[in-house]
Amino acid sequence: MNDVWRLPRVRWAHHPPEVKAAIRRAGFVPRIKQCFQNCQRLVLFGDIEGATYHEGVARSDSGSAVEHGWIVWRGRVVELTNLDLEPIAGYEVPAAVLRARLMERRAWGSVQPARLTDLLVAVHAGRAPERVRQRLVDLLHLRLVDGGQAPAR
* 100 located within any domain: yes
Are 84 and 52 a contacting pair, CB within 8 Å? no
- For residue 38, the enclosing domain spans 3-145
The alpha carbon torsion through 95, 96, 98, 99 (nearest 10 deg) reads 110
- Residue 43 in contact with residue 73, Cβ under 8 Å? no
Written as tens digits, the pLDDT of the chain (153 aa) is: 455 556 677 777 788 899 999 999 999 989 988 999 999 999 999 999 999 999 999 998 888 889 999 999 999 999 998 878 889 889 999 999 999 999 999 999 999 888 888 888 888 777 655 555 555 555 554 444 434 444 443
* 72, part of any domain: yes
Residue 23 lies in a domain: yes
Q: Does residue 153 sit within a domain?
A: no
Q: Domain total for the chain?
A: 1
32-63: burial string, b at 16+ Cβ within 10 Å, e else: eebbbbbbbbbbeebebeebbbbbbbbbeeee
Q: What is the pTM of this model?
A: 0.77
Q: Is 19 exposed, middle or buried (0-12, 13-18, 19+ CB in 10 A)?
A: buried
Per-residue 3-state assignment (H helix, E strand, C coil) for 115-146: HHHHHHHHHHCCCCCHHHHHHHHHHHHHHHHC
Residue 150 in domain: no
